[in-house]
Amino acid sequence: MPEFDTSHVKNIALLGHAGSGKTTLAECMLFEAGIINRRGSVAERSTVGDYHELEQERGNSIFSKLMHTKWKGYKINIIDTPGYDDFNGEVISALRVADTGVLLLNAAMGVEVGADLIWDYTERFKTPMLIAINKLDHDKADFEKTLRQAKEHFGSKVIAVQYPMETGPGFNAIVDVLKMNLYKFPAGGGKPEKLPIPDSEKERAENLHKELVEAVAVNDEMLMDHYLDKGELDEDEMRVGLKKSLINHDIFPVFCISAEKDMGSGRLMGFIDNVCPSANEMPPQSTKAGDKLTCDANGPACLFIYKTTSEPHVGDLSFFKVFSGTIKTGMELVNENNGVTEKINQLFVVEGNKRTPVNELVAGDIGATLKLKNTHVNNTLHVKGKNMELHPIVFPAPNMTVAIEAVKKGEEDKLSQALHALREEDPTLLVEVSAELRQILIHCQGDMHLAVAKWKIEHLHKLEVKFSKPRIPYRETIRKVSESTYRHKKQSGGSGQFGEVFMRIEPWYEGLADPHGLNVRHRDEYPLDWGGKLVYYNCIVGGAIDVRFLPSILKGVMEKMHEGPLTGSYVRDVRVSVYDGKMHPVDSNDISFKIAGMMAFKQAFQQADPQLLEPIWHVDVLCPDDLTGAVMGDLQTRRALVEGIDTEGHFQKISAKVPLAEMDGYSSSLRSITQGRARFSMHFHEYAPVPFDLQRKLIDDYHKYAEKEEV
């Protein structure tokens, strides 16, 4: 029998901007429950959560960590998440399996931009949310300002359950308007003394209590009737009403803590086990087929993989949540995503880097298992005979791209294996082998994300790598009509080569009329993998070129379009008309007309006012009002066209179109300009002409590079 049934398992995710104190709070919770006998600290590199060498080196969380504690008959699974935007994939995966989020706000800083980003994710998942205002012992702590900002940013559903008697170094007492008690803490923190609320605070406490009760009652007709009849709700009614309001996103209770001094964490844990929902009290999961999956320990076994890590000498560790049934060691489950049967040889509950074997995990619980060879993040495993696939986590698109290569020649296979391992652990890191750019590209969330990837490659895979600026995927096209003739003739004994092609090329656009003055025999339209089209006309009359050679001419044109005449970039949006030519009864063959077609196209292209196009990306930057000028100034140095400034929440959103060539290093630059108080997103918008001077430089650089390669 499992130690805890489904109703007594609570899953929480600790969320917040970097430096808000999540890892320190997790340490407090473990200490309060007696799981550890001494509280570690981030500064001393001794916390249960930040055990990774890289995290201890950098002094902040980088990976989400699973921990658990036992509190008054309940098991609380705690997922501590990183606070930097670069690691938002860890936050999203945690929210996918958590049943409650605890958002920490730094009382000295108020609501920071990272908190707004996280709140957007919680709205997407409809995660019940608590807010904990932390660092109330800081000399610049301002509870009222932080609470006011929380209401402004997250709405009127933010309701104070507690407030501090005093903030700053003298913080040691909290007025709880739900319990209507004063909690006074000893100098070293820990268990508080429960006291009556002082007369000086009674009026404020009673007003806040009334506000809380009304906020709970207004969302439930029966509770509202009770409240109107009695003017109050009893403890059980408040518990039921709060839970329902949390599940429906109708209320966001605010608590007071100092994680550093271990003040307030016990009361927060009491609220989590007494009020916050278990997984079986949350709405059922929906499968991709549209069925409902109830969280029931007696239901069909089904789990969802939300995270994987690779540990040296151990292998891949898969973290999962049991959404239905009971998972036992030795059980065989089917991976719905690929049909492979996996055997669950081991089950663990996890405490940071410590794994404790267990025999079973019930619906609603979170655990880990080893060595699932064909199972990855976002996979659903279920009992045989069922067809259940849960909705996958949708990870954010990358904001930064770099090229990577091994420093030593001959280690390309080793690099490929390392990148594959990184991709398995981190779905927000994408790897692309670009045939167009002839580079291996890493797409990631930002410079810190990239630094972590580099550290893993060098320290775990023992491979020295270097990053470089990725080449830009320019496109080439033309702006006017041009004609050319090319004769390919080669005689070197025996059968020779002969082919002559007359060709017209034109800029192509939708709705363009057929070629003027030519006898159109046949038309083909080819959508190009890299965007745009090639439209190919056969306008041959009188059999000047046999129809069997026309595909060879097209092949020559396409080959040159793969490596354009200007910079070697792909060519797009061109119409080619072959209207005359000559053959030789013996020497004409496919290769002759392929070469003739290629060279005729090259000549005509160079005479058709060629134009280089560059990728333009739409960039949105979210920043505080006082940083708008600095952010815009930096964008303008990047040839950006600022389209507008809008207000989004309590931040300014700057929208701009920026050439991709100018976005190199933008993540680092923005973080430096704003001290990490801004974030950005970007997506491809269009191809646009490159300025003349820049086009000339790019063409010259390419020709110098080509000459160097030929030597």
pLDDT digits (tens, 9 = 90+) for 281-306: 999 999 999 999 999 999 999 999 99
CATH code that applies to domain 6-197+251-281: 3.40.50.300
Take residue 119 and report the two structure tokens written for it.
């709140």
Which pLDDT score is estimated for 422? 93
Q: Are 441 and 403 in contact (CB under 8 A)?
A: yes
Which pLDDT score is estimated for 270? 94
Which pLDDT score is estimated for 693? 93
The helix (H) or strand (E) run that includes residue 644 is strand 641-648
Global confidence as pTM:
0.87
Range(s) of the chain covered by CATH 3.30.70.240: 612-693
pLDDT (tens digit per residue) in 318-331: 999 999 999 999 99
Which pLDDT score is estimated for 493? 65
At residue 224 the predicted structure's pLDDT band, cuts being 50, 70 and 90, is: confident
Which pLDDT score is estimated for 709? 62
CATH code that applies to domain 285-382: 2.40.30.10
User: SS3 of 705, please?
Assistant: helix
Q: Taking Cα atoms as reference points, which of 114, 123, 101 lies closest to residue 25?
A: 101
Take residue 266 and report the two structure tokens written for it.
């016990």
Domain 612-693, CATH class in plain words: alpha beta
- Whether the pLDDT of residue 494 is over 90: the answer is no
d(CA 504, CA 499): 17
- Whether the pLDDT of residue 710 is over 60: the answer is no
Range(s) of the chain covered by CATH 3.30.230.10: 476-608
Range(s) of the chain covered by CATH 2.40.30.10: 285-382
**Mean pLDDT over residues 635-660, rounded?**
92
pLDDT (tens digit per residue) in 523-580: 999 999 999 999 999 999 888 999 999 999 999 999 999 999 999 999 999 999 999 9
**CATH assignment of 476-608, among 3.30.365.10, 3.30.70.100, 3.30.230.10, 1.10.150.170:** 3.30.230.10
d(CA 143, CA 219): 27
d(CA 127, CA 95): 7
Range(s) of the chain covered by CATH 3.40.50.300: 6-197+251-281
Q: Taking Cα atoms as reference points, which of 14, 23, 75 lies closest to residue 273?
A: 75
Give the least confident one: 425-434, 676-685, 686-695. 676-685
The CATH number of domain 400-468 is 3.30.70.870 = yes
At residue 481 the predicted structure's pLDDT band, cuts being 50, 70 and 90, is: very high
Q: For all residues of the chain together, what is the average pLDDT?
A: 92
Which pLDDT score is estimated for 327? 97
**Mean pLDDT over residues 183-201, rounded?**
94
pLDDT (tens digit per residue) in 592-605: 999 999 999 999 99
Which pLDDT score is estimated for 711? 45
Chain-centroid distance, C-alpha 99: 20
- Which of 213 and 231 is assigned the larger pLDDT? 213
Which pLDDT score is estimated for 114? 83
* Cβ contacts of 121 within 8 Å, gap of 6 or more: 88, 91, 92, 95
At residue 222 the predicted structure's pLDDT band, cuts being 50, 70 and 90, is: confident
- Whether the pLDDT of residue 156 is over 60: the answer is yes
**Mean pLDDT over residues 150-174, rounded?**
95
